[in-house]
Amino acid sequence: MKKIIVLGGTGFVGTHLCEKLAREGWQVTVPTRRAINAKAVMHLPRLTVRQIDVHDEAALTQAVAGHDALVNLVAILHGTQAAFEHAHVALPRKIAHACLAAGVGQVVHISALGADSLQPTLAPSMYLRSKGEGEAVLVQAAMGGSAGDAAQAGFDLSILRPSVVFGEGDKFLNMFAKLQKVLPMVPLAGADAKFQPVWVEDLAMAVVRCLSGASAQPSPRVIEAFGPEVLTLKQLVQISAQLSGTGGGMGRLVIPLPAWAARLQATVMGMAPGEPMMSLDNLESMKVDNVATGKHPGLDSLGIKASAVRPIARQYLGR
């Protein structure tokens, strides 16, 4: 029985992925700082929760030992330069060290559309630059590079670059649907930004297919995970309201903000306590359309027919 360790297994995508891995017969380890965070997956067969801090390199190296594969889902959307560096660059470097030391054969890393491991500094936001830099660290290690120290044999690496991910329990369409239940109108920064939303189940299946060797692309491979529709942020906001029945299914008036007002809104939201709905860095990310580039294969290369937004979102937003 193959063993896999899933970093970020307690999150939105991680929960869906762990369910699929359990059904496929994998023995799954989910590390987390607090065991209670794993309550959504701890009931799954052959799944073990380990209470560790994955940013502690010694603890991570010990946890990785004995596993055949690793999936990294850890990411943040908001924060300082140091926070992005910590989550998206330093952690992949620790993962590379741990996997090389333990002889892990496969690594699947979830990145983002708009990231570029070849020219990461050209990206417009801290989020995308750090995502590209993290990819570069893992690519070097996969090819037998140093990842920071002596050269060692590499590992099979799949990098998945998803567009915005939707599905039951998401913090994207659900957030906009809830906002429009109480707001008479929506002033919206980045209204014209384009996305190609991917269903969380399709993304989770893509990880499983990569682990099973379904891709014909050599390692290290990049696969873009996107859905069949290109939609603007404004359209997605309107869809969320319509499918949740707001305004009798008509939704709310969405008012696109000019650039100066968009920056003001993002600045104010970014300063709010707790997890912000939007930040200036998010706005910078939206300068690059979050859609397929055509430079890399998509989900169809893994035998997956991507699902559209409306048929899926109707099932959970309607509740």
244 and 95 within one domain? no
Please report the pLDDT score of residue 148 as a whole number.
47
Domain presence at residue 218: yes
- Residue 295 domain-assigned? no
The answer to whether residue 129 is domain-embedded is: yes
- Would you state the torsion angle of the CA atoms of residues 209, 213, 217, 218, taken in this order, to the nearest 10 degrees? 140
Query: Model confidence over 299-318: pLDDT tens digits?
Result: 999 999 999 999 999 999 98
State whether 117 and 220 are in the same domain: yes
Asked if the model's pLDDT at residue 23 lies above 70, the reply is yes
Q: What is the pTM of this model?
A: 0.95
Q: pLDDT for 58-81, tens place per residue? A: 999 999 999 999 999 999 999 999
Are 64 and 193 members of one domain? no
Residue 298 belongs to a domain: no
pLDDT band at 152 (very low <50, low <70, confident <90, very high): low
98 and 178 together in one domain: no
Residue 122 shares a structural domain with residue 188: no
Query: 156: domain CATH number?
Result: 3.40.50.720
77: burial class by Cβ within 10 Å (0-12, 13-18, 19+)? middle
CB 221 within 8 A of CB 154: no
Q: Which residue has 């707790």 as its token pair? A: 274
Tokens matching residue 312? 């899926």
Sequence letter at residue 291: V
Task: Choose from 32-41, 142-151, 158-167, 251-260 the range with maximum mean pLDDT.
Answer: 158-167
Confidence label for 167 from pLDDT (cuts 50, 70 and 90)? very high
The verdict on 14 and 99 lying in the same domain is yes
> What is the per-residue pLDDT across 104-141, written as a single tens digit (0 to 9) for each?
999 999 999 999 999 999 999 999 999 999 999 999 99
Residues in CB range of 241: below 8 A, 6 or more apart: 176, 177, 180, 247, 251, 252
Residue 189 predicted with pLDDT over 70 = yes
- Least reliable range by pLDDT among 175-184, 201-210, 224-233: 175-184
- In this structure, are 134 and 184 located in the same domain? no
Same domain, yes or no: 38 and 184: no
Does one domain contain both 115 and 47?
yes
* pLDDT, average across residues 247-270: 91
Task: Answer yes or no: is pLDDT of 147 > 70.
Answer: no
**208 and 193 housed in the same domain:** no
pLDDT for 95 equals 98
Q: Does a structural domain hold residue 104?
A: yes
Same domain, 23 and 119: yes
Whether 45 is in a domain gets the answer yes
Domain residues for the domain of 282 are: 170-197+228-290+305-317
Instruction: Give the chain's domain count.
Output: 2
Q: In this structure, what token pair is assigned to residue 35?
A: 């065991």
What burial class does residue 273 get, using C-beta atoms within 10 Å of its C-beta: 0-12 exposed, 13-18 middle, 19+ buried? exposed
Q: Are residues 86 and 115 located together in one domain of the fold? A: yes
Query: Would 127 be classed as within a structural domain?
Result: yes
